[in-house]
Structure 1
Amino acid sequence: MTPHTAQNWPIAAAMLPFPSSQDASGETWTQQLAQVAYEGFTEVDLTDSWVQVGDLDSHRLSSMDECLASVGLRPIAISVIRRSVIHPVEGVENLRYSHRTIDAAAALGIRVMSIGLHRALTPAQRDAHWFWTEPGPSDDTSPETWRLAAMRIRELGRHAEELGIQLSLEMYEDTLIGTVDGALRLVDDVDLPNVGINPDLANLYRLHRDVEDFLESSARCAPRANYWHVKSYFRDVDRTRDLITTVPAPMEYGSMNYRAAIASAISGGFSGPFCVEHYGGDGLSVAARNREYLQRMIAVAMGEAYRRVNERVAKGS
């Protein structure tokens, strides 16, 4: 495999900015995907809040493949959102759905699938301006729940491994993988080479409460990470008034120091794809800006920035 550079490192757009389009026509899919390509992306994450490819029949799955090819987008990942396999009521069906999605991913040539243990938004979260300002469901942390999570994720991991797919566990608050320790523990318990961490630490950083240090967390996750959702937030902490607030921000302007985090992660062994996300407003345009920023930060982390400056200086001398 050719080593990644800042120019060819896979950076996907999430389909989060688009509405649920499960029953839309192929023409609608193409128009939506064309917007992603128009913003300069060559890779895409088929986020299942947009289309649940695991529930498409063979004809519709072929149509999706044709739509992607027609706009020149390569699907490099699928993110399965809010389908916890340890949900006390829906866990078994979510497990079946995840298996179907692995098969669909293989049919589309996708090599990474991200899953999490977070559940559907509560009514209060759906009604809030920013859903993370309202508390959501919390995982039971009993030994039985840990064993169930490891068993079901291991089952998915083995299925994915047979098809050449990496399984990535997305960090999310109040789940078993809502802390670095929890994420590392579950990956260790699953104990498969193709199962790693998706250190989406922004899911935690945006909370209106104390959180783990971003740079320390990203450095600890990097050796076990195989995919990375990235986004940022402005975060303000006023201890005198016991007030913490966050709002979405482009990566280069937000309070999360991705310049340092990416350098640390790459030096720590991270080599997986990135997926750029953003909530609110024109999320796709911000995601495109995040991609450009990410490419610059990868160049810095890999020493390419230094080489390019030297070449420019040499040409000018």
Structure 2
Amino acid sequence: MFTAETWPIACNMLPFGSRAADGSPIVEAPASTWARQLRQVRELGFEHIDPSDAWLPIAALSDARLKEFETVLDDEGLAIGSISMTRSSVVDVANGEENLRLAHRLIDLAPHFGVPVVNTGFMQALTPAQQQALWFWLAEGHVDDPQLRPLAVARIRELGEHAAANGIEVSLEMYEDTYVGTPEEAISFLKDVDHPAVGLNPDLGNLVRLHRPIPKWEDMYAAVLPYANFWHIKNYLRDEDPATGSYASAPVPLKYGIINYRAVIRQAVELGYTGVFCCEHYGSDSLGVAAENRDYIRQVLSSALR
């Protein structure tokens, strides 16, 4: 059982992006580049990272480069708390089979790094309109094809079987307009997968930022927290005007947004949540905000675990 101080809280490496300063892919960068980025995270007090494939796709590394990465982690005093696949849907029409292969590769790598969970989902590459928007969620993105849902269920069950054999779990990230885009859809999908090694990543920050009607965050969390086994955790301001139909949202630290995470984290702990927290933030000093959020989570946990 974790204490508030030992609970694994990871920093998502997504803010560094997939390109080095010279524009080359970070996956091809020298280990010294990885080290400089990881050092920034360690200097903020993190002990765990999530090497999202939006930063460094470790499933694509050769054995030699993987050893380099492991050495850098050790040198910087960091461990991997979780591994996330971002916009790598296993039913992407063009890349689904390759994404499935990479997911299996991550499930094989996870135990070596002491990682308990691999996070995936069905979000896909940003559209040109999303790439041009101030915030990508302001433009319409990918919408899952209902006809591919049975294949999605089968492939996630396949990953669950592999994960269970390796002593880890798979988590499905909730994201709008995907098979796990609402609490009802997520729970239905999870029940169809019907595997004990597959749970939900209740990343409802992905939903409260949308400029569209959404259910109350309290109701959404009440529905999905019992299925949570991993958590991308972030918060947003949200405003809506029924008279004009206008919406506004912006990323903020956990304790300032519309979601009351002091209440939600306590609720999760009471329900038996023991998964990794992974701090995410968009805009501004994402790493600095993630560090503030980590400290906030630990304070809430110290109260909740008494």
Find the counterpart in structure 1 of residue 45 from structure 2: 40
1:16-31 correspondence runs (5 A): 16-20=14-18, 21-31=26-36
2:21 paired residue number: none
Of the structure 1 ranges 195-204 and 207-216, higher mean CA displacement relative to structure 2 is found in: 207-216
* C-alpha separation in 1, matches of 2:179 and 2:296: 31
Q: Does 1:152 align with 2:155?
A: yes
Supply the distance in 1 between the matched residues of 2:269 and 2:186 (Cα, whole angstroms).
19
Question: For residue 32 of structure 2, what is the amino acid of its counterpart?
Answer: E
The one of 11, 27, 37 aligned to 2:9:
11
Cα distance, 1:141 vs structure 2: 2.2
* SS of alignment partner, residue 176 of structure 1: coil
Cα deviation 1:28-48 (Å, max 9, x = unaligned): 111111111100111111111
Question: How far is 1:114 from its partner?
Answer: 0.2
Residue 102 of structure 1 and its aligned partner are, at CA, apart by 1.9
Identify which of 145, 152, 155 aligns with 1:140.
145
Tell me, in whole angstroms, the C-alpha distance in 2 between the residues paired with 1:19 and 1:122: 17
Equivalence for 2:220: 217
Any conservation in 1 of the 2:79–2:113 contact (CA below 8 Å)?
A: no
Please tell me whether the aligned partners of residues 113 and 166 of structure 1 are also in contact (alpha carbons under 8 angstroms): yes
The 8 Å contact of residues 49 and 81 in structure 2, kept in 1 or not, is answered as yes
The 3-state SS of whatever aligns with 1:12 is: strand
Match of 1:113 among 105, 115, 118: 118
SS state at 1:245 partner: strand
Q: Is the CA contact (8 Å cut-off) linking 1:44 and 1:76 kept in structure 2?
A: yes
Instruction: Give runs of ≥4 in structure 1 deviating > 3 Å.
Output: none
CA distance in 1, matches of 2:198, 2:270: 20
User: 2:281 is matched with which residue: 262, 265, 278?
Assistant: 278
Match of 2:23 in 1: none
The Cα shift of 1:177 comes to 0.1
Structure 1: gaps (5+ residues): 304-317
Q: Determine helix, strand or coil for the equivalent of 1:88.
A: coil
* Cα pair 2:104 2:162 within 8 Å, conserved: yes
CA contact (8 A) 1:82 1:118 kept: yes
Alignment partner, residue 66 of structure 1 = 71
Q: What pairs with 1:153-168 in structure 2 (closer than 5 Å)? A: 153-168=156-171
Contact kept, 8 Å, 1:197 with 1:221, in 2: the verdict is yes
Amino acid at match of 2:177: D
Q: Contact 2:50 / 2:82 at 8 angstroms: preserved in 1? A: yes
Of 101, 109, 113, the residue aligned with 1:104 is 109
Gaps in structure 2 of 5+ consecutive residues: 19-25
- Within 1, Cα distance between the matches of 2:185 and 2:62? 36
Pick aligned residue for 1:123 from 128, 153, 165: 128
TM-score, with structure 1 as normaliser:
0.92
Q: Of 302, 307, 313, which residue of structure 1 is paired with 2:305?
A: 302
In the alignment, is residue 177 of structure 1 matched against residue 180 of structure 2?
yes
Q: How many Å apart are 1:104 and its aligned residue?
A: 2.6
| 1:17 counterpart SS class | helix
1:200-279 → structure 2 map (5 Å cutoff) = 200-279=203-282
Normalised TM-score (structure 2): 0.95
Of 187, 190, 195, the match for 2:190: 187
Show the counterpart of 2:82.
77
Q: Deviations over 1:118-159 (max 9, x none)?
A: 1000011011110000010101224xx222111000111111
Query: For the Cα contact (< 8 Å) 1:199–1:225, is it kept in 2?
Result: yes
Report which of the two structures shows the higher radius of gyration computed on alpha carbons. 1
